[in-house]
Amino acid sequence: MRIFKSTSSQTILQQQQQELIDVIDCLSDDTNRSCQHCSQVCSCSKSMDCNCDCSESCPHISTGLSSEENTFPIESHVLPLVYALNKMNIFKTCWSCEGHNDANGKLNKLPQVWFYSNSMMLIRVMGDSISLLKSKNITHYNWQLVSSYAARDSEMNAFSLKPDLNFIATPELAYLQQDLLKIAQYLPKRLEQDCRSYYQDISSLLSAHSPQSIMTNAIR
């Protein structure tokens, strides 16, 4: 069966461009705090708006990022990735696990992070960014984005970032947890770069259709 390349109308392409602009604006804004309800005052001005002390090494971060801070603080190996996703200001994490072995030392719980997003362009670009990790020798294993369960009355779509362990006979938890850290370090900058690249590709498509169709509110 031959798979034909899909085509998009100018209207759809322009909508995708605007969605990317919104995503890039969030990614380039470094003024937010990763913990939504953080009440800690900063050290430079004693303000609760400044984020000068906001980092994954903050002693309050593991509880501040959890919806059940007293019962289930964020586990240490997955904390950098949960922090990075929330710091980008475009994801709302809803569940995480650093991965666990059973009593025999065999992996029985995958490391992963679940998050909410309604931006399909963001998911599309993020999927491409994630798919290149292993080929660039950034991670030990392939990782993937998967659509996850969301309640019927939820306004948001849920996705999970997890390892793709098909054809891996004996995955090593230590390597998977190293991957969590690598993704946290790599993804924020890479994602913004890839969004900008997508934006330029769409601009080229629009220009080929009609030079007048290029959006005036270009990315910064």
pLDDT for 141-158, tens place per residue? 999 999 998 888 888 899
Which tops the pLDDT comparison, 20 or 51? Answer: 20
Q: Is residue 211 part of a domain?
A: no
How many structural domains is the chain composed of?
Answer: 1
Q: Is residue 44 part of a domain?
A: yes
Average pLDDT, the chain: 90
Q: What is the pTM of this model?
A: 0.89
- Are 23 and 122 in contact by the 8 Å Cβ rule? The answer is yes
Q: Is residue 69 part of a domain?
A: yes
Which tops the pLDDT comparison, 219 or 55? Answer: 55
* Amino acid letter for position 140: H
The residue range of the domain holding 109 is 27-195
- Are 95 and 113 in contact by the 8 Å Cβ rule? The answer is yes
The pLDDT assigned to 212 comes to 54
Q: Is residue 156 part of a domain?
A: yes
48-52, 175-179, 207-211: which range is least confident on average? 207-211
Q: Is residue 208 part of a domain?
A: no
As a whole number of angstroms, the distance between CA 112 and CA 190 comes to: 19
As a whole number of angstroms, the distance between CA 129 and CA 181 comes to: 16
Q: Is residue 15 part of a domain?
A: no
The pLDDT assigned to 88 comes to 92
Alpha-carbon distances, residue 39 vs 51, 175, 182, 201 (angstroms): 11, 35, 29, 42
- E-strand spans in 89-139? 92-97, 100-101, 107-109, 112-117
Q: Is residue 154 part of a domain?
A: yes
Q: How confident is the model at residue 184 (pLDDT cuts 50, 70, 90)?
A: very high
The pLDDT assigned to 7 comes to 67
pLDDT for 25-57, tens place per residue? 999 888 888 887 788 888 888 888 888 889 888
The pLDDT assigned to 2 comes to 76
The pLDDT assigned to 135 comes to 93
Q: Residue 213 pLDDT more than 60?
A: no
2-6, 81-85, 107-111, 130-134: which range is least confident on average? 2-6
